[in-house]
């Protein structure tokens, strides 16, 4: 009996092992088949979105490629706001995993919890409005509209995508974009289908001026979409060949795709989402505390470096001896000219600099400017738009001296002091005195224009400032006083060289 019981137990034990094997095998197969439906691979490389818990892990860098296709309908990518990682029914990669695009990178944005297939607008800034559209977005050139196809109720928002919201005069010149929800996407078939979202920006306003081109256009666009790593399509209002040609390298640094001229391209473009308008953190400013990935103005400089490297001809290096620090003088024409510029150059040479003079009127392309300024140790110039090129200087290494003409000191400091310091540059502002201004030849010494510029500006208002202080004076620098400034720049450059990279 005992042997029979033992034999029976052995048979039962062997049978149970066979069942276990198939049970484990079934579990493994289920995991392989259905795990991709639980985790969504972030399309920008390595970040994972957990659909069940809506948690977000920051993505890593990845290589870029062209992602625009035409005519044939294809499924969209998931598009979500920064704090909402729930899947919206997007397409799948070769592994069957959905890929998500995060639209809003701003900390504490009211749109961070927007639902899928909706429009959300952040109008909290005095400078700019920014709206987000998550879902199937299609253009309607005839009405300058973006249509979001959604099963929800109809709604409409209007945005002028230019970051000077407080200035009514110029904002009226910026075309208004309508953002509308609609049903029945089959009623508007796609002529061009894009795999990446749209960023609507303006190349109009004041962007004919270099300072405003960067401050109002390029930098805000980078702030708004840099987290997409160029996987965004620029939809440009007031597009013009001058802008496209002058900033072609930078445009390529912002986007992998050709620009879409929203006012004149009558085709229906389809996107998996859209951002309309651009963020603004301050004059030539990137506030890392307001970005989820903590980027800074130095990261913006790196984008410029990547765009311009090897595009311009660098200055020749001096071999066989240690290179002297290099100083660049920005030479203006017309107004705010340094009348004794040649003497200033000789003074800088005597202090110990190799001096290069760059003429603003010479029409040098921006890659050539970048090549010279990225290789220099110090930049000197009178307040003006061309000092925006401080963004080309080496962060943490170079120096900037801004010469502030009489009556221009507060404006000069507001424009370029904080951006310079944000880049880790040594910043000095040389304040022109009445005797150094050409206005001394037009006004009596006791006239408020010379004796009390602040009172003169209060009485005359902005038109007076623009006509007299900005548009009506040149400077002749006191070489003794300016020599002290140059000596400090030279000492700083030597310190950088002694512990530097060349």
Dump pLDDT digits (tens) for 55-68. 222 233 333 333 33
**What number of residues does the chain have?**
502
- Which residues lie below 8 Å from residue 385, measured CB to CB, with a gap of 6+? 209, 210, 211, 212
pLDDT of residue 151: 80
339 and 300: one domain? Answer: no
Q: How confident is the model at residue 500 (pLDDT cuts 50, 70, 90)?
A: low
Higher pLDDT, 19 or 421: 421
238 and 124: one domain? Answer: yes
pLDDT of residue 431: 98
Mean pLDDT of all residues in 480-497:
97
Q: What is the CATH number of the domain that holds 365?
A: 3.40.50
458 and 406: one domain? Answer: yes
In a domain, 275, yes or no: yes
- What is the C-alpha separation between 254 and 244, in angstroms, rounded? 13
185 and 250: one domain? Answer: yes
Q: Which two tokens stand for residue 373?
A: 């300024």
- Phi, psi angle pair for 498, to nearest 5°: -65, -30
For residue 86, what are the CA distances in angstroms to 51, 59, 82, 94, 115? 5, 16, 11, 21, 9
134 and 206: one domain? Answer: yes
Q: Would the pLDDT of 313 be above 50?
A: yes
Q: Would the pLDDT of 31 be above 80?
A: no
Q: Which two tokens stand for residue 64?
A: 């870029």
Q: How many domains does the chain have?
A: 2
Mean pLDDT of all residues in 206-216:
96
Q: Which two tokens stand for residue 105?
A: 């990178």
Q: Which two tokens stand for residue 199?
A: 């960023």
In a domain, 460, yes or no: yes
Look at residues 308, 340, 374 and tell me which one is the last residue of a structural domain.
308
pLDDT of residue 112: 80
In a domain, 7, yes or no: no
Contact 117, 272 (CB under 8 A): no
Percent of the chain at pLDDT exceeding 90? 70
86-100, 404-418, 459-473: range with lowest mean pLDDT: 86-100
pLDDT of residue 195: 96
10-24, 72-86, 92-106, 289-303: range with lowest mean pLDDT: 72-86
Mean pLDDT of all residues in 62-91:
39
Residue with tokens 């900037």: 400
CA atoms within 13 A on the CB side of 454: 2
259 and 373: one domain? Answer: no
390 and 292: one domain? Answer: no
Higher pLDDT, 119 or 182: 119
Cα 361 to chain centroid distance, Å, stands at 27
pLDDT of residue 342: 98
- Which residues lie below 8 Å from residue 360, measured CB to CB, with a gap of 6+? 330, 331, 332, 333, 384, 386
In a domain, 491, yes or no: yes
Q: Would the pLDDT of 239 be above 70?
A: yes
pLDDT of residue 190: 92
- Which residues lie below 8 Å from residue 6, measured CB to CB, with a gap of 6+? none
Percent of the chain at pLDDT exceeding 70? 76
pLDDT of residue 22: 52
Neighbour-count burial for 364-402, b at 16+ CB within 10 Å, e otherwise: eebbbbbbbbbbbbbbbbbbbbbbbbbbbbbbebbbbbb
Look at residues 308, 342, 371 and tell me which one is the last residue of a structural domain.
308
349 and 474: one domain? Answer: yes
- Which residues lie below 8 Å from residue 394, measured CB to CB, with a gap of 6+? 374
385 and 469: one domain? Answer: yes
In a domain, 434, yes or no: yes
> Could you list the residue range(s) of the whole structural domain that residue 412 is in?
326-498
pLDDT of residue 334: 92
pLDDT of residue 322: 58
Q: What is the mean pLDDT of the chain?
A: 83
- Which residues lie below 8 Å from residue 2, measured CB to CB, with a gap of 6+? none
- What is the C-alpha separation between 394 and 378, in angstroms, rounded? 10
In a domain, 30, yes or no: no
Find the DSSP H helices in 43-202: 168-171
- Phi, psi angle pair for 225, to nearest 5°: -130, 5
180 and 286: one domain? Answer: yes
pLDDT of residue 113: 77
Q: Would the pLDDT of 256 be above 50?
A: yes
- What is the C-alpha separation between 336 and 382, in angstroms, rounded? 7
Higher pLDDT, 295 or 186: 295
243 and 343: one domain? Answer: no
119 and 78: one domain? Answer: yes
pLDDT of residue 79: 58
Mean pLDDT of all residues in 9-31:
49
In a domain, 376, yes or no: yes
pLDDT of residue 200: 98
In a domain, 302, yes or no: yes
pLDDT of residue 488: 98
Mean pLDDT of all residues in 135-139:
94
Residue among 69, 62, 46 nearest 229 (CA): 62
Q: Would the pLDDT of 3 be above 50?
A: no
68-72, 83-87, 179-183, 375-379: range with lowest mean pLDDT: 68-72
């Amino acid at each position: 009996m005992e042997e029979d019981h033992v034999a029976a137990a052995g048979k039962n034990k062997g049978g149970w092992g066979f069942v276990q094997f198939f049970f484990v095998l079934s579990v493994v197969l289920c995991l392989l088949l259905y795990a991709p439906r639980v985790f969504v691979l972030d399309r920008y490389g390595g970040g994972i979105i957990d659909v069940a818990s809506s948690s977000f892990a920051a993505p890593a860098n990845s290589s870029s490629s062209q992602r625009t296709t035409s005519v044939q309908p294809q499924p969209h990518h998931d598009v979500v706001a920064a704090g909402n990682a729930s899947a919206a029914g997007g397409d799948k990669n070769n592994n069957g995993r959905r890929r998500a695009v995060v639209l809003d990178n701003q900390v504490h944005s009211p749109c961070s919890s927007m639902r899928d297939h909706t429009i959300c607008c952040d109008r909290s800034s005095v400078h700019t409005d920014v709206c987000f559209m998550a879902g199937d977005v299609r253009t309607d050139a005839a009405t300058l509209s973006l249509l979001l196809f959604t099963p929800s109720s109809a709604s409409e928002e209007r945005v002028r995508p230019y970051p000077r919201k407080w200035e009514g005069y110029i904002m009226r010149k910026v075309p208004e974009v309508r953002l509308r929800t609609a049903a029945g996407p089959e009623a508007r078939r796609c002529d061009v289908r894009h795999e990446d979202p749209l960023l609507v920006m303006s190349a109009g306003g004041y962007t004919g001026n270099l300072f405003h081109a960067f401050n109002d256009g390029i930098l805000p666009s980078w702030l708004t979409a840099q987290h997409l790593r160029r996987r965004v399509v620029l939809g440009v209002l007031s597009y013009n060949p001058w802008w496209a040609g002058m900033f072609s390298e930078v445009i390529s640094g912002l986007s992998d795709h050709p620009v879409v001229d929203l006012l004149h391209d009558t085709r229906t473009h389809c996107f998996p989402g859209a951002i309309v308008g651009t963020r603004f953190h301050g004059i030539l400013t990137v506030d890392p505390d307001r970005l989820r990935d903590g980027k800074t103005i130095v990261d913006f400089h790196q984008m410029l470096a990547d765009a311009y490297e090897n595009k311009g001809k660098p200055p020749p290096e001096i071999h066989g001896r240690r290179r002297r620090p290099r100083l660049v003088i920005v030479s203006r024409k017309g107004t705010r000219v340094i009348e004794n510029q040649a003497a200033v150059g000789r003074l800088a040479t005597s202090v110990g600099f190799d001096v290069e003079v760059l003429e603003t009127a010479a029409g040098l392309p921006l890659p050539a400017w970048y090549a010279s300024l990225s290789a220099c140790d110090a930049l000197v110039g009178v307040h003006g738009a061309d000092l925006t090129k401080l963004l080309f200087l080496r962060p943490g290494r170079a120096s900037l001296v801004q010469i502030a003409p009489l009556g221009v000191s507060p404006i000069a400091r507001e424009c370029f002091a904080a951006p310079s310091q944000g880049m880790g540059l040594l910043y000095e502002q040389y304040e022109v005195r009445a005797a150094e201004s050409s206005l001394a030849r037009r006004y009596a010494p006791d006239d408020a224009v010379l004796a009390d510029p602040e009172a003169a500006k209060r009485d005359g208002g902005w038109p007076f400032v623009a006509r007299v202080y900005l548009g009506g004076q040149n400077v002749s620098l006191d070489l003794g006083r300016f020599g002290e400034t140059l000596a400090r720049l030279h000492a700083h450059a030597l310190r950088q060289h002694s512990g530097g990279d060349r």
